[in-house]
A and B are shown apart, each in its own frame.
Chain A
Amino acid sequence: MTTEILIAGFGGQGVLFAGKFLAYKGLLENRHLSWLPSYGPEMRGGTANCSVILSDDNVGSPIVSKPDVLIAMNLPSLDKFEKDVVPGGTIYVESTLISRKVARDDVKVFYVPATELAKSIGAPTLANMVMIGKFIRESGAVSYDELDAALKKVVSARHADLLEINLKAITTGYQY
C-alpha cells in the first residue's frame, strides 16, 4: 500500500516538522518513504507544505500532486489543494482556523479544532501534532505504538523537555 500525504499550512505551524515525524515513524517501521519540503520565498510568512509518501514498495516520484491525504492547517492551503485530493481520499481540516466546509462530496473529511485542542493542553503551537494524532487514528498509515522513539528523532536533544508535550498533543488528537 502507498499513502501520499500533503501537509500544508502557514510557515511556523510546524508543517515540515509534522511531516518529518511521520517520515521517521515510517523509517522505524521499515517502510519505504520520502519527505519533500516546499522551499523558497513562500516559506517566509506565506504557505509551507511538505509531501510525505509512505509505501510498502519503492517510492517513485517524491512529488505529491494528487494526495491520498491532505492535512490542511489553514484556509489558503485548503483552497489551493482541495481539488487535488484523489476521489475517495481524505481531508483533515484544522477547524479552529478554517471556518468553511469542504465543498467536495467524493472525499472523507475530518474537522479537527486542533489549535483549540492544543491550547487546552497548554501547548498552543502543537496543533500540527494534534492533527497527526487524528491522522494516525483514522488512517492507520503508521502505528500508534512507540511514538516516543520517532519523536526522539525529530525533537533535538536540546529540546528533550518538549517530548512529553508533543506526545500529549498526538494523544489528544488521537482521542478526539
Chain B
Amino acid sequence: MSEKVLMKGNEAIAEAAIRAGCRHYFGYPITPQTELAAYMAKRMPKIDGVFLQAESEIAAINMVYGVSSAGLRVMTSSSSPGVSLKQEGISYIAGSDLPALIVNVERGGPGLGGIQPSQSDYFQATKGGGHGDYHLIVLTPASVQEMADLTALAFDLSDKYRVPAMLLADGTIGQMMEPVELPAESGCTVEKPWAVTGTKMQRRHNIVNSLYLVPEELERTNIERFERYAQIEANEVRYEKFMTEDADVCVVAFGIAARVSKNAVIAARNEGIKAGLIRPITVWPFPKKAIAEAAKHVKGFVSVELSMGQMIEDVRLACECTRPVSLCSRVGGMIPSPDEVLESIKKMNGGLK
C-alpha cells in the first residue's frame, strides 16, 4: 500500500491521470477546476508530456479529438460554462467512437452562473449535451480518493468501449483536501488498431470520422454504437448501498450531496427511522436495478441534488413510479444541510402512514 498524501480533489484527478498514462492535457482555466490545469502545467513538461492552454474550450476539446485519433490517452477539464462550449467536440468524439476523458467540476448555472458547487449539469452529462444519439460514461466521485480512482477507471472504460468518459464532480470535491492513496502507474491495455498513426506503407490507412452521408451507413453506426451502450449498461453500473436492506426511506444522491445525505441517514437511524442511501457512482449507466430492487420494500425515495431536480427523473423511471419520489435540493452554489435532508426523510417516512 502506498503512503497516503493530502491533496485537493482537482490535483488528485491530475496526478491520477498522469499515473494512468495520460501525457496530453488541453484546457482553459476556469474556477473551480483551475488547480487541475495548474498541476498539469507544472508536471507535464517534466515527464515529456504536453500541457497546452488552448485559446478556448472549443479549441481544447478539438485538440483532444486529434490526440485521441492517434490512439493516445488524452483529457480536458473545465467547469460548467466551459463544458457547454465543448459540447460540439464531444459529439464529434462520440460520433467518431473515440475514447477521451472530459472532467466537469461543476459550478452553478445557467449562463455564467456562479463559482460555487453545483450538480445542475446532470442532464447535459447523462442525456447527451451535444447533438445526435450518444452517451458518455459518466462517473461521479464523492471523495478525493474517488477523484483519483475514478479517473483511472474512466480511462480504462473509455478505451475498452471506445466511448468518451466524463468525470462529473463539483466545486466542493474539487476544492477539498482529504488523504488519498494514489493509484499505481498504469496505461492503456487494449489494442487500438483503428488509431491514425501512419501506415508505413504496410496497411490500409485508417479513417477517423463522424460524417456518413449515406443514411443506411449512418444508421448502422448508430445501431452498432448502441450495442456497445447496452454492454456498458449490463456490465459497468457502479453504486454504493448504505443501510438500504431494511430501509423504509431510500435517499438517492451522488457526489457531495451523497456525503451530506449519509450524515442525514445516520441521524435518521439514531431517531429510529429506517433510512438508507443509494449512491450512484455511475450516473450513466444509471443504477436502475438497485433502485427497482429498493422500490420493492421502501415507502418512497428522496432524491438529493444540487439542482432543481434532474436525477429525480431517472429515479422515477427506475422505480417505474411505483413509489413516491421527493426532491431535496439547493441550487446556485448552496448545499443542502444534513438537517434539510433529514427533514425530507421524515416527511417521506410519515407521508404514507
Contact = CB atoms under 8 A, between A and B. Distances in A.
B6 A153 contact: yes
Contact of B262 (A33, A41, A61, A153): A61
B263 A34 contact: no
B263 A60 contact: yes
Contacts of A33: 178-179
Contact of A60 (B4, B31, B115, B262): B262
Contact of A35 (B176, B260, B337): B176
Interface in B163-182: 171-172, 175-179
Contacts of B177: 20, 23, 34-36
A36 B6 contact: no
Nearest to A154: B6
B115 to A, nearest CB: 5
B6 A23 contact: yes
A173 B228 CA distance: 62
Nearest to A37: B175
Interface string A14-42: 00000010011001000011111101110
Contacts of B335: 63
A41 B31 CA distance: 11
B99 interface: no
Contacts of B32: 39
Interface in B247-277: 256, 259-260, 262-263, 266
A59 interface: yes
B338 interface: yes
Nearest to B263: A60
B167 to A, nearest CB: 18
A99 interface: no
B116 interface: yes
Nearest to A65: B337
Main secondary structure, interface of B, reads mixed
A61 B264 CA distance: 10
B172 A36 contact: yes
Q: Which of A27, A32, A33, A63 has the most CB of B within 10 A?
A: A63
B4 A34 contact: no
A80 B97 CA distance: 52
Nearest to B175: A39
A61 B142 CA distance: 10
Interface residues of B, number: 24
Interface size class of chain A, counting residues whose CB lies under 8 Å from the partner chain: 20 to 34
Contact of A24 (B6, B259, B338): B6
A62 interface: yes
A62 to B, nearest CB: 5
A35 B5 CA distance: 13
Contacts of A62: 172, 176, 178, 256, 259
Interface in B218-245: none
A23 B115 CA distance: 25
A35 B172 contact: no
B179 A61 contact: no
Contact of A36 (B4, B5, B176): B176
B304 to A, nearest CB: 11
B6 A27 contact: yes
A101 to B, nearest CB: 28
A40 B116 contact: yes
Nearest to B114: A40
Given A60-B263, A61-B259, A27 B179 contact: yes
B32 to A, nearest CB: 6
A60 B171 CA distance: 17
A41 B333 CA distance: 13
A102 B266 CA distance: 32
Interface in B79-118: 114-116
B334 to A, nearest CB: 11
Given A34-B177, A39-B171, A62-B256, 6 more contacts: A27-B5, A34-B176, A37-B176, A39-B31, A40-B115, A61-B262
20 contacts: A20-B177, A23-B177, A32-B179, A33-B178, A34-B178, A35-B6, A35-B176, A35-B178, A36-B177, A37-B176, A39-B31, A40-B31, A60-B263, A61-B256, A62-B178, A62-B256, A63-B335, A63-B337, A65-B337, A153-B6
The 7 closest A-B pairs by CB, nearest first: A35-B177, A60-B263, A36-B176, A61-B260, A61-B259, A60-B262, A61-B263
Interface of B: 4-6, 31-32, 114-116, 171-172, 175-179, 256, 259-260, 262-263, 266, 335, 337-338
